[in-house]
Structure 1
Amino acid sequence: MKKAFLLLCTVLLTGNLFAQKTPESKSGWMLGAQSYSFRLFPFSEALRKIDSCGLKYVEAFPTQQIGGGIAGTMNFTMDADTRQAVKKLLKDRGLTLVAYGVVRAKDEAEWKSLFEFAKEMGIRNINTEPDVKQISYIGELAKKYKINVALHNHPKPSHYWHPDSVLSVIGTNPYLGSCSDIGHWVRSGLDPVECLKKLEGHVLGMHFKDLEEKAPKTHDVVWGTGVCDIPAVIAELKRQKFKGPISAEYEYKWENNGPEIAESVKNFRAIYLK
């Protein structure tokens, strides 16, 4: 009887573990959400919303209020006690903080503080748009801490809007690369698949979007229903054997965009499995 009970517990536990696996995880993709998608809410509430969308990975942004009875924002200057409290928020939800940004630091000393924060919080990607003059020491810090620095592309005329501007500064440093925002590429008149091909081997993370139209001023739509050619993007990531964070960044219907993010995640996984 005891053996049967233990066997049943093992089966149930194993089933739960398997249930937590997602289709994309076998490719090393960490599909999650940028908490900026829920910028109208504190980080503690954003975590609940991310969890409800069927996601287990988080990208935090610096100016979001923490909430949950914790004072302050998600800035990397938070003190040790606040860091521990944030870790508990994540653990209680069963979520993993994998990326942080888009963030900047004013000088080498502040960048070192940012890397120390990322190391303590278990962050693997710092997403940023730094001054080109800072790249040399940022690259050295990235090597020292073994943390990726992914250059994000806001739409033109931001400095890193085009893949060529990323390639021109990263050199051969494996910890420098792209945080590829496919929606902003479309806003800048670029083809996201061609951009990914140009950056092959240097895509360290993603900001994932689908847009209503190919125009600078447009808005997010459920993935697979817009103009970003999500199936082709997913196919290209598979071809490149990409591994890393993919953050849903849904900048529309701010008051209640959780259902559309959840539908996007469902579509993403269906397309991935085709």
Structure 2
Amino acid sequence: MILLVVSSCSRSISNSSSSPVKNYPETALGWKLGAQAYTFNRFTFVDAIRKADSCGLKFIEGFPGQNIGGGIEGKMDFKMDAAKRALVLAKLKEKGVTIYAFGVVGANSPEDWRQLFTFCKAMGIKTITSEPKESDLPLISKLCDEFDIKVAIHNHPNPSHYWNPDIVLAAMKGQSSRIGSCADIGHWVRSGLDPVECLKKLEGHVFHSHMKDLNEKGNKAAHDVRWGTGVSNIPAVIAELKRQKFSGMISAEYEYNWNNSGPDVAASVVFFRGALK
């Protein structure tokens, strides 16, 4: 892993990293445009904060297992102690970046699920992205209500359990209203599904999105491209989220060109904000 090697994403971004979030066009819609730290998984979490900030993104979704960096030992883990949590929050504050979500993450016991929610509450995290066992959903439902934290069920491609929105809808039936969907646009496209139709099925239940544009539909080997240049029909996805009055975080999750994805993310951000205008 390459540590502490950080370059500017792009000079073409109209908003500098110091610009207040309220100046971004998505803010008026209640959208938190940010980065899934997995986009920068060849680097540390502190690097991911810096890279997101340099792309004009003020929100981040952490993922479990990433080295923290910045002089802080250990990995991003919901079992970290209070002292380490404080150090991570201080690094976020330095760049004015908010950790809004955490995932994709799960737990293997009721005690671990509670520890995950306790960690997220302490970090100010609003949404957990997860692919939980359906048998765990009644427990998760109670924890969502107790901690006032949402769980967004994520979809990996077919044959992953939650690959189809119909399965997600059936799983959340009868559970807390704080259980919904993490709409992974790219994985729907890899499964040969129309992301706009998937969003329509999940209307009222989309809490979070992993935004991706891919070079090919119906192929698990398809790779990310800059938003607006692929087959995911990102403008139509944006229009559908607006129609639904979506409110939550949209994570740029760019899983290609791993060692130098910053310029691609930055260009995608510019496209996204231009489409909103």
Equivalent pairs, count: 258
> 3-state DSSP class of the match of 2:268?
helix
> What 5-or-longer segments of structure 1 have no aligned partner?
1-15
Q: In structure 2, how many angstroms separate the alpha carbons of the residues matched to 1:107 and 1:166?
A: 22
Q: Distance in 2 between matches of 1:170 and 1:256?
A: 38
Partner of 2:36: 34
1:20: Cα distance to partner? Answer: 5.1
Deviation at 1:65, TM superposition (A): 0.2
Paired position in structure 1 for 2:62 = 60
Q: What does 1:57-206 align with in structure 2 at a 5 Å threshold?
A: 57-172=59-174, 173-206=176-209
Partner of 1:222: 226
**AA at the equivalent of 1:23:** P
CA distance in 2, matches of 1:136, 1:168: 13
Q: Aligned partner of 1:98: which letter? A: Y
Flag the structure with higher helix content.
Answer: 1
What's the CA shift string for 1:149-169, capped at 9, x where partnerless? Answer: 000000011110000111011
CA shift, 1:217, in A, is 1.0
Q: Residue type matched to 1:206 in 2? A: S
Matched residue, 2:261: 257
CA deviations on 1:97-125 (whole Å, 9 max, x unpaired) are: 10000001001111000000000000000
CA–CA separation in structure 2 for the residues paired with 1:61 and 1:18: 25
Q: Distance in 1 between matches of 2:105 and 2:74?
A: 17
For structure 2, the residue ranges without an aligned partner over 5 or more in a row are 1-17
Letter in 2 for 1:194: E
| Two-structure CA RMSD over aligned residues (Å) | 1.1
Identity %: 57
Distance 1:89 1:17 in 2: 18
Distance 1:111 1:19, change over 3 A: closer
For 2:213 and 2:20, locate their aligned partners in 1 and report how far apart those are by CA, in whole Å: 29
CA distance in 1, matches of 2:55, 2:243: 27
Partner residue in 2 for 1:231: 235
CA distance in 2, matches of 1:130, 1:204: 16
Tell me, in whole angstroms, the C-alpha distance in 2 between the residues paired with 1:75 and 1:221.
30
Per the normalisation by structure 2, the TM-score is 0.91
